[in-house]
Amino acid sequence: MVFQCQDLDDLKDQLGKAGDKLVVIDFYAMWCGPCKMIAPKIEEMEAAMQNVVFLKVDVDEAEDAAQEYNITAMPTFILIKNKNKVSVQDLTLVELEPSWQKIQPVFMSVNFSGCGLDGRQPR
């Protein structure tokens, strides 16, 4: 099961525990339709990919973590390597294989247009 970070301190603790593994942080909101659509896929990837750490952050519950990473739309996925934010271009093919081949199609298959321009739906 993907670890649910309660706040920024909890997230930082989990990033420290991840060591040099690739970390995928899923910033989501309970009211976000696309977040709900991709959640089972994230769980499947977490179970299948032992060399990648998956973390979830509810932006409404862990506002400090969302603010730290400047999250304005949900879902937002941040990649971390050695406690540093990285882009896919920053990772070598050795680090991405076979993990990225499994992750990329999942992100490409979900329509993220349901959360509005800034990622927040009216409540």
**Domain 3-115 in this protein, CATH class:** alpha beta
Q: Provide CB contacts within 8 A for 10, sequence distance 6+.
A: 62, 65
Please count the other Cβ atoms lying within 10 Å of the Cβ belonging to residue 88: 11
115 in active site: no
Identify which of 88, 116, 106, 84 has the alpha carbon closest to the alpha carbon of residue 19.
84
Give mean pLDDT, residues 93-121. Answer: 49
pTM metric for this prediction: 0.76
Q: Which of 5, 32, 45, 79 is catalytic?
A: 32
In the predicted model, what is the mean pLDDT of residues 10-19? 96
Is 32 an annotated catalytic residue? yes
Rama region for 83: left / alpha / beta (φ>0; ψ in -120 to 50; rest):
left
Catalytic residue among 35, 53, 55, 57: 35
What are the tens digits of pLDDT across the range 25-44? 999 999 999 899 889 988 98
Joined together, the tokens standing for residue 31 give 């009211």
